[in-house]
Chains A and B, each alone.
Chain A
Amino acid sequence: MHPDTEKLINALRGLSLTVEACDYQQRGYHFAIDAESGKLRALAEVMLEHEMFLAFVGGLHVKPAIEIIYQFATYAGACRFVVRVAVAPDNSVPTISDIFQGANWHERETRDFFGVDFTGHPNLVPLILAEEDVDLKPLLKKEEALKDTAEVRWAAPVEAKPEVEKAEQG
């Protein structure tokens, strides 16, 4: 476990985010956070301060809004966070590419595949797809295949535990 997990969790709680402790054996990550897009940048700052690195950014097309998935991990131990952010009604999410430079390409790729606008991104041009395919959005689901957010979540989610000590066991 990351040596400063406790501090990190407290800092995230300071942003009034709910940190859900998860069973690593079952899910492969330790904590999950559902964040509003307004808090994303503050969350990323906290992650950077606490020695986390950005593993990846990816999209997930669900109803009612596309979710952007961020996974953070650490070089110092085993501590993996999955952060889900639903895009705003205008299909946008703030960029974190100025905080984690590695996000630059991940965000461009997610824009390619889902058409999500990362506001403030310095260079949001196609990365993986060709320029003429800028509106292809290949990973968007057809209407009949589209599922609701609740349909792709664990049936019995582990509720966030109020005390830090318990959360650490996750």
Chain B
Amino acid sequence: MEILAENRAVHADLEPAAPCSNHYYLNMGPQHPSTHGVLRVLLEMDGEYVVDPQPVLGYGHRMHEKMAEHKDWMAFMPNTGRMDYAAALPYNHGYVALFERLCGIEVPARAEYIRVITSELNRIVSHHLWIGAMLLDMGAFTPILYTFDDREQVLDILEDVTGSRLTYCYFRVGGVCKDIDDRFVEKTRAFIKRQRERFDIYNKLVTGNIIFIKRTEGVGIISPEMARRYGVTGPVVRGSGIAYDVRKNEPYSVYPNFDFDIPVGRNGDSYDRYMVRLLEMEQSLRIIEQALDQLPDGPFLGKVPKKLKMPTGDCSFAVEAARGELTYYLVSGGGDIPYRLKIRVPSYSNLSVLPELCQGMLLSDLVAAMGSMDLVIPEIDR
């Protein structure tokens, strides 16, 4: 009872349940199996129905933005791999590209290709994890065994070249820290072939599954207008039929060299968000395939001054991370330590839509809707 009273005090905006109503508070997380990482949602409930779900953040907060102000730009590099642990390479990419833009550093073409190939592999790995986890939340145990089998194949490839399996720190200002070899190319091509065959299994197991369809179709509909009010990005906004992808809208690196589509949904429900990610994996495979075909020779790391002197001023760099738009916004006062680094993470805005989205839902639908958002909590808490 004490905890309840405390919660009410913290969430002053929650109307206290009327004396004779049936409303009660239900605490979900931070150690609930379907609130991955350490998300806590305080639910005001009326029977099985959710009246007001309020996410409570901060359990995984490490204050990365403060750390960035206390070390030189290179020493912060490992931090970038520790926000979105499921897809760390786009975070690497945004960070190094920010300094390349600010200081006007040229990157060799081969390095840009390696960045795109590894980032897209990382995106696929992230979606593997998400398919497994979302279905697990909804009570289906089998899919995660298949997706993790595929995920392992890619992690092995990435481990060979980056040296780690999860929290990558592979990119450097001016390129990457290790070149890819023929073995990498061979294994990646083998993976592309294998993954294309595996989509068939996913479709038989999940996409056409009547239970899955019944639980996701029409559940958690995000309208384009609602998405815009909250600044929703990534597969979540594309599920609502808006073809917003930083790779196309503000092309960076060598993405303009590749032919790929942006899959969009129609209804903006949980099923559409699932379909968008599934189709996106195929598009990532297409990008990797073209990149491997065009892969130029040359150095993998350009000439970079030993001591990077930043000009004063501010600079922004947006990339398409696995969950949406990731923006680094740097304010420099000269020297080699950032004066301020703001990190805009996609899951933060995507989750902020939850209270409006899930009002009046059944609790089990909230789990499906939240699962379809592909949240990574350490990224939100930073």
Contacts and interface: CB of A to CB of B under 8 A. Distances in A.
Given A54-B231, A100-B229, A123-B13, A75 B314 contact: no
B344 A75 contact: no
A164 interface: no
Given A147-B339, A155-B312, A53 B10 contact: no
30 contacts: A27-B101, A27-B314, A27-B315, A28-B315, A48-B229, A53-B229, A55-B325, A56-B342, A58-B340, A60-B340, A71-B329, A75-B244, A78-B249, A82-B314, A101-B352, A101-B353, A102-B229, A102-B230, A102-B349, A102-B352, A122-B13, A128-B58, A130-B58, A152-B331, A153-B313, A153-B314, A154-B311, A154-B312, A154-B313, A155-B312
Interface in A43-96: 48, 51, 53-56, 58, 60-61, 69, 71, 73, 75, 77-78, 80, 82
A105 B332 CA distance: 25
A122 to B, nearest CB: 6
Interface stretch (B16-24, B61-69, B299-307, B359-367): B61-69
A151 interface: yes
B128 to A, nearest CB: 27
Nearest to B340: A60
Nearest to A56: B344
A99 B180 CA distance: 48
Interface string A111-149: 001000000001101111111000000110000000100
Interface residues of A, number: 45
A16 interface: no
B65 A125 contact: no
Contacts of A105: 57, 348-349, 352
Given A100-B229, A105-B348, A123-B12, A56 B312 contact: no
A38 B313 CA distance: 25
